[in-house]
Amino acid sequence: MTTRIYRPDGVIGQPPLELAATPSSLAGMRIGVLDNGKPNAALVMTRLARSLATRVDAEVSLVTKKGPQGRSANAAIPCAPDVFERVVAESDVVITGTADCGSCTAYSVHDAIELEKVGKPAIVVTTTQFAPIAETMAQHFGLPATRRLVLPHPIGGTAPDVLERWADEAVDRALTLLRP
């Protein structure tokens, strides 16, 4: 004799989403960097963008913080609407992050998905220690395939030359994430 009990989790209310299409070639593409202000985020993502641009003959078109007018950044809320519009207008692909804490991972993944929704392929830069959180957030927000580039941990507090090496070593993986 069995008994029935209720599940406690409720149905999922967010619709499933798809990645934006990526171009067949990245040559001439404009790469934007959307910085959430985490320590060393701009440094490591700008280096990654430049190394990627050099490799594929693209350009780094924009590096901006995600707060209003790009003047500040708060990693625990969505990208400011004016900055989002500018990133969409001035970039063909976007690198965003860094997703190396909890709320900043949630919102970096959120920002990347918002960019994918308007047709801009977006890579979230995360770390080994926060990759599981990033994966969970991507699933929860309806786009499990969100492009996630995993760097060593931590980004904050690591020396600039080490961060630059990590960025350079990640270029191949970034290219894989942007493959059509």
Partner 1 sequence: METDVEQLLEVADTSPETLQAVLEEHGWGDGLPVVPPTEDRVERMLAAVPDDPDEELGLLLPRGGVVTPRVAAVNAVLAGCPPAVFPVVVAAARALARPELNLRGVNATTHPVAPLLIVHGEIVRHAGFNAGVGAFGPGNRANATVGRALRMLLLHVAGAVPGRGDASSQGQPAKYSYCVAENVDESPWESYAFTQGVTTPSAVTIHCGEGPHNVHDMESAGDPALILDKIASAMTSLGMNNAPISQGEFFLALGPEHAHSLAGAGLGRSDIASYLFDHARIRAGELRRHFEERAWATWMKIVDDDHMLPMTGHPDNIRIFVVGGPGKHSAVIPSWGMTESVTVPVVEKDDAR
Distance CA 23, CA 81 (A): 25
Q: Does residue 5 interact with partner 1 by CB under 8 A?
A: yes
Q: Does residue 4 interact with partner 1 by CB under 8 A?
A: yes
Q: Does residue 13 interact with partner 1 by CB under 8 A?
A: yes
Complex with partner 1: residue 29 or 124, whichever CB lies closer: 124
3-state SS, residue 23? coil
Least distance from partner 1 to the Cβ atom of residue 131, Å:
11
Site map 50..89 versus partner 1, x via CB under 8 A: ----------------------xxxxxx------------
CB 129 within 8 A of CB 104: no
Distance CA 25, CA 44 (A): 24
Mark 112-148 as b/e (b = at least 16 C-beta within 10 Å): bbbbbeeebbbbbbbbeebbebbbebbeebbbeebbb
Q: Does residue 24 interact with partner 1 by CB under 8 A?
A: no
Pick from 11, 24, 27, 179 the residue near partner 1 by CB under 8 A.
11
What residues make contact with partner 1 under the rule CB under 8 A? 2-14, 37-39, 72-77, 101-103, 105-107, 110, 130, 132-133, 136-137, 140-142
